[in-house]
Structure 1
């Protein structure tokens, strides 16, 4: 696992909503020239729920640090992000922040930046392991640790009972999906081998796709054999729960865990349909993309800056420290 720096989510940054177009506003530093020029190549903006708190936090921290920030939004189009990378490299900023639109397509961008002497930090979703040497490091969710934490909840729920579960993964080939799966599977195998993964399918980060996938798996392994479900995010777990209800199976009768603690998932925890999820703070993610970039530019020795993986269950789901952000 990567090394991490423990930072608390308590007192997460509160910022006013800002308007964004294709580029972020420049630094407001009393008229002084910005300390750094940074291009942020993102796959989403305030057009997606996560971005509505990620981008304001990112911009507020950039303003605080005297960073002139240019933001792009490729809308998860790999070709568009590649074109935006060409523009960024030609502009010769001090640093590029990259949130990969598609993880296995970003190496040419990273290589071009390296050839131009521009450091690249990665935010939210890390690059593939073979591309890590082309980056200055990563800030964002500890996706492996999120999988570990969700599995730990599952192990605690199962106790010594023999439990067969279904697994709903993210998009095939996506780095977040891969590392979350790795963290979950490794922990199950090491900590509670009495939990058996009966079947797994990708849910593609989609509620509808996940409902179909779980319905198919229930049929293939036999619904009576399924005692639990793990889904790699709250959107997919909501689809899994809908699949159970469509078969008149009470979700509360199964052990169900997820990741996100989103505005969709948190109410499911409170209702008892979802046993546990892992809090992911989009504002922490946006803010610390700038904290990490500034540390790199200042020449500090840095480790990957990883978001704490806070478990959310019925006991703490209503606590203000884990209020859903997206």
Structure 2
């Protein structure tokens, strides 16, 4: 059953969360996000805790504050507390393998959320690390692909277009997946383009602004800037305004309140709907299934639909995190 793919629509979530709660009051689940410094991660924790509260399950959330070492210690702490299931947002996809192996060896179900476990160069996101009960994640390749489709639609047709990419933290597998999907969509559209600049960030608006300043100084004739998250795009929009640039800013990892406002105001052309609150709910459900039914298969991939967000489709993405 490894690699089983599950996709949930909004209507199914309430029924899933209300089902199979017998004995739930005796359960305690732990969650270790990457860092609660970021709104996206905060929303995953909120979705997890709200779903657990509805089901009568106790929760423990430990914040490693962006440290891989602290994340490992937090997971050990949860094991010592004898929680019934563990969820975590991996800070380092490769190191995360050892975390999962240790938790599994202790007989505790473990679910990864939002980020891949295992070397992304060797493992497809839809084929989760087999020791995981589930990987609950945005299909980032698909998210990048949707951004690429939007980009292909706005590129000039009479010449080779110039594109720059504001990347996330390269330690995250989603960075490569976003770029791979983005490029695949452009190639399928037979777009005439060149990626003239790429630069990593730590996912923050300030770094997004700094990177875009660099891009626009070195390449003032850019046609599109692709940001791998709303957060950097918000900062990038400030640099764009200061430079008076007239190209298109397109992001993925969208759906935030600030991103919504930026698209509405015309500061950003479009983004792709990502739903961290829903991911937190789905992580809880995957943990609940594994903790209450020993026959639950491992290696499941759980995801959701990701529509594009443009000025005329703002309400297609219900979360505004």
Aligned to 2:153, what secondary structure does the other structure show?
A: helix
TM-score if structure 2 supplies the norm length?
0.83
| 1:232 equivalent in structure 2 | 228
Gaps of 5+ in 2: 15-20
- Whether 2:162 is the aligned partner of 1:164: answer yes
Q: Which runs of 4+ in 1 moved over 4 A?
A: 10-13
User: CA deviation digits over 1:26-71, x for unaligned, max 9?
Assistant: xxx89x66354322222344x6433554333312322333433222
User: CA deviation digits over 1:101-134, x for unaligned, max 9?
Assistant: 3334323322211222222111122223468233
TM-score if structure 1 supplies the norm length?
0.82
Q: Does the aligned pair in 1 maintain the 2:91–2:172 contact within 8 Å?
A: no
Q: Does the aligned pair in 2 maintain the 1:100–1:125 contact within 8 Å?
A: yes
- Count of aligned positions: 301
Distance in 1 between the 2:12 and 2:77 partners? 37
Distance in 2 between the 1:277 and 1:107 partners? 31
CA drift of 1:137 comes to 2.0
| 1:204 equivalent in structure 2 | 202
| 1:89 equivalent in structure 2 | 79
Gaps of 5+ in 1: 14-28
CA drift of 1:216 comes to 2.1
- Whether 2:243 is the aligned partner of 1:247: answer yes
| 1:181 equivalent in structure 2 | 179
Instruction: Rate the CA distance shift 1:263–1:290 in 2: closer, same or farther, 3 A.
Output: same
Q: Does the aligned pair in 2 maintain the 1:9–1:308 contact within 8 Å?
A: no
Distance in 1 between the 2:97 and 2:39 partners? 28
Distance in 2 between the 1:155 and 1:9 partners? 29
Distance in 2 between the 1:166 and 1:207 partners? 17
What is the root-mean-square deviation in Å for CA atoms of aligned residues?
Answer: 2.7
Which of 287-296 and 186-195 deviates more?
186-195
CA drift of 1:150 comes to 0.9
CA drift of 1:267 comes to 1.4
| 1:146 equivalent in structure 2 | 143
CA drift of 1:170 comes to 0.4
Q: Relative contact order (alpha carbons < 8 A, sep ≥ 6): 1 or 2 greater?
A: 2
CA drift of 1:6 comes to 2.9
